[in-house]
């Protein structure tokens, strides 16, 4: 049998968060509520992807109730180009707090931040962050 090459399918794009999985298999599962982030780093990655996709409901529900804004103002000119996790402290399945230091790149610059995460009702949420550099 000769395999037919009738369809010219695009290879599925890697997830915006930088992992090799497709978006559907990676952050998409968290955005759709099918899975919960097991670590602070996973939550950080999924929130970056949510910024890329402008998923405001996901960003708000993964924001600590104490620091959550009323809404997320997306900059329409912002084009995110990549995420690099530089360091993490705690934030594993055995912790209730954790930090993730990362560099998020966008067209024309990058953002270097250390974010703090906490568990609320068992789920990791973003508390706040400080800019570095
Ligand atoms: Zn992802």
Query: In the chain, where do the E strands start and end?
Result: 80-90, 97-106, 109-120, 123-131
CA 19–ligand 1 middle distance (angstroms): 6
Write the pLDDT tens digit of every residue in 59-68: 999 999 999 9
Write the pLDDT tens digit of every residue in 6-30: 455 666 778 999 999 999 999 999 9
Q: Which two tokens stand for residue 43?
A: 């939550």
**Domain locations in the chain?**
27-131
3-state secondary structure of 49: helix
Write the pLDDT tens digit of every residue in 118-132: 999 999 999 999 999
3-state secondary structure of 97: strand
CA 14–ligand 1 middle distance (angstroms): 8
Q: Assess contact for 82 and 109: CB atoms under 8 A.
A: no
CA 15–ligand 1 middle distance (angstroms): 5
Q: Which CATH class is domain 27-131?
A: alpha beta
Q: Rounded distance, CA 123 to CA 13, Å?
A: 28
CA 48–ligand 1 middle distance (angstroms): 8
Which pLDDT score is estimated for 4? 53
How many helices (H) and strands (E) the chain has is answered by 3, 4
């Amino acid at each position: 049998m000769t395999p037919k090459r009738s369809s010219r399918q695009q290879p599925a794009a890697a997830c915006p968060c930088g992992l090799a999985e497709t978006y559907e298999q990676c952050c998409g599962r968290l955005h759709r509520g099918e899975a919960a982030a097991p670590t602070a780093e996973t939550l950080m990655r999924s929130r970056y992807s949510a910024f890329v996709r402008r998923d405001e409901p996901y960003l708000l529900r993964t924001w600590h109730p104490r620091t959550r804004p009323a809404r997320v103002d997306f900059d329409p000119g912002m084009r995110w180009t990549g995420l690099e996790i530089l360091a993490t402290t705690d934030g594993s399945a055995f912790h209730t707090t954790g930090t993730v230091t990362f560099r998020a790149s966008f067209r024309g610059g990058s953002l270097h931040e250390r974010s703090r995460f906490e568990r609320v009702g068992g789920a990791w949420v973003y508390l706040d962050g400080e800019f570095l550099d």
